[in-house]
């Protein structure tokens, strides 16, 4: 994760939650009273976002000491102590909710990604995310996918060309769209084209696409389409692929499978901060 961006995000999130002060904690505890808390996993899963615990407490109060017992991408089980914090109670409690919200969400995404990797059970195919992320949290959510064993698709509209159905409809054809892009971008930028038919796959390959995506195709169609694509062009399957049917895409020969649900509809991993 970009450390500067992470700190900026955390500062904004902490200010949103704490405002001028934590009224409850500051009314009960003197600022110099210290205590210890532990972050406990309450369900089995894959942990992600541990750096957030350290950076959030550094922003709040550098007197809070953090010790993590796992690293991102590790499997944890219900009852495991993930991290321990020691320092002023007001500061420990002030950062609790923001930290838990983020680490629980990221760990849920890492856990789902790992489940998908295990379900597919095909080391020749990489699973990746999409741009279907929570506004403001994309960096964190894409990091969580990597923690779970996945890969990242483009980070945004700015770092890769993806010619989709609406681009093609407005432009008139895949060939025209690719030619226009090639005239206006540098040689370092990859060009991906979304396709739905054999004819579109062949046109995209002929037009010089770097990546061809097969949209909403079943495993049999993906196998058929992969056979049409020259080996130097990367292939991707996306759309209509769920955890329930993912295993059927094993051995299709496709290079990547992108899954929007890795970030837009997962259950957070249950984690609590308990006083010791």
- 17, 196, 215, 224: which is the annotated catalytic residue? 215
In the residue annotation, 132 being an active-site residue is answered as yes
Instruction: Say if CB 86 and CB 15 are below 8 A apart.
Output: no
What's the Cα-to-Cα distance from 124 to each of 94, 145, 250, rounded to whole Å? 45, 18, 9
In the residue annotation, 97 being an active-site residue is answered as yes
Instruction: Say if CB 165 and CB 152 are below 8 A apart.
Output: no
Residue 46 CB contacts under 8 Å (≥ 6 apart), including other chains: 73, 74, 75, 76, 107, 110, 111, 113, 114, 147, 148, 269
- 55, 122, 141, 194: which is the annotated catalytic residue? 194
- 132, 138, 182, 190: which is the annotated catalytic residue? 132
Residue 112 CB contacts under 8 Å (≥ 6 apart), including other chains: 148, 243, 261, 262, 266, 267
In the residue annotation, 190 being an active-site residue is answered as no
- 36, 42, 97, 138: which is the annotated catalytic residue? 97
Instruction: Say if CB 233 and CB 195 are below 8 A apart.
Output: no
In the residue annotation, 215 being an active-site residue is answered as yes
Q: Other CB atoms closer than 10 Å to residue 107's CB: what's the count?
A: 29
- 71, 164, 176, 276: which is the annotated catalytic residue? 164
In the residue annotation, 142 being an active-site residue is answered as no
Catalytic residues: 97, 132, 164, 194, 215
């Amino acid at each position: 994760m970009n450390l500067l961006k992470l700190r900026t995000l955390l500062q904004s999130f902490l200010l949103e939650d704490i405002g001028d002060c934590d009224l409850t904690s500051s009314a009960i505890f003197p600022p110099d009273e210290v205590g210890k808390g532990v972050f406990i996993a309450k369900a089995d899963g894959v942990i992600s976002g541990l750096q957030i615990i350290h950076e959030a407490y550094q922003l709040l109060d550098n007197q809070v000491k953090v010790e993590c017992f796992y690293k991102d991408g590790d499997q944890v089980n219900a009852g495991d102590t993930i991290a321990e914090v020691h320092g002023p109670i007001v500061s420990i409690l002030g950062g609790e909710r923001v930290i838990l919200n983020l680490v629980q969400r990221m760990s849920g995404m890492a856990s789902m990604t790992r489940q998908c990797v295990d379900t597919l059970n095909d080391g020749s195919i990489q699973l990746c995310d999409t741009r279907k992320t929570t506004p403001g949290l994309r960096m964190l959510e894409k990091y969580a996918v990597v923690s779970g064993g996945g890969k990242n698709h483009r980070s945004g509209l700015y770092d890769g060309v993806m010619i989709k159905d609406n681009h093609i409809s407005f432009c008139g054809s895949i060939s025209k769209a690719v030619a226009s892009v090639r005239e206006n971008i540098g040689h370092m930028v990859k060009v991906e084209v979304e396709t739905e038919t054999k004819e579109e796959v062949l046109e995209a390959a002929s037009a010089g696409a770097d990546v061809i995506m097969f949209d909403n195709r079943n495993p049999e169609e993906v196998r058929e389409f992969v056979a049409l694509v020259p080996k130097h062009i990367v292939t991707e399957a996306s759309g209509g692929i769920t955890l329930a049917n993912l295993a059927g895409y094993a051995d299709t020969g496709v290079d990547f499978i992108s899954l929007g649900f890795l970030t837009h509809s997962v259950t957070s991993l249950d984690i609590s901060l308990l006083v010791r």
